[in-house]
Amino acid sequence: MRICLFPGTFDPVTLGHVDIINRALPLFDKIIVGIGLNTAKTPMFTPEKRAEWVREIYKDEERVECAIYEGLTIDFCRKIGAKFILRGIRYVSDFEYEKTIADANRTLDKTIETVFLTCEPKYTSVASTIVRDIIRNNGDSSHFLPDVVFRTLK
């Protein structure tokens, strides 16, 4: 079984995240959206709320699951039996950063491969950081968020 971990903070889940997951579905038997607890970041939404969004968005897709984890992504991959890590790329700068992490992960475990998908051009500007700023300032975030997420913000 081809199990893939899509790790991130997903704070909040955006249309860009959903685009990557949907386009990765034909490639894997199961995608686990891993909400990583990053002590260096102060999230706007609880990990439970973010997991609830993912589960609601994919309630009709049994191949997508969600889990909250702490620690090294590579250790979580081993725990869940994932042999692939999925990462979305918007810009060249994303690739440079993500490749560094992929190289470190490969050093830690050569059996786990990182797969990069570039996002659809219409989602290039969709970054959780920007979306959080729009939400904080009472802007219209509907252009960037799945309906399920947007509705809970109102």
Q: Is-contact 4 86, C-beta < 8 A?
A: yes
What integer pLDDT is reported at residue 16 of this predicted model? Answer: 94
| Contact residues for 41 (Cβ-Cβ < 8 A; gap 6+) | 9, 11
What integer pLDDT is reported at residue 5 of this predicted model? Answer: 98
CATH classification of the domain holding 128: 3.40.50.620
What integer pLDDT is reported at residue 28 of this predicted model? Answer: 98
Low-confidence ranges of the chain (pLDDT < 50): none
- Model-level pTM? 0.94
What integer pLDDT is reported at residue 121 of this predicted model? Answer: 85
pLDDT digits (tens, 9 = 90+) for 73-94: 999 999 999 999 999 998 888 8
Enumerate the β-bridge partners of residue 86.
115
Active site residues: 17, 41, 90, 128
Among residues 38, 39, 37, 30, which one has the least CA distance to residue 5?
Answer: 30
Q: How many domains does the chain have?
A: 1
Phi and psi torsions of 12, nearest 5°: -95, 175
State the residue range of the domain holding 143: 3-153
Phi and psi torsions of 87, nearest 5°: -135, 140
What integer pLDDT is reported at residue 149 of this predicted model? Answer: 96
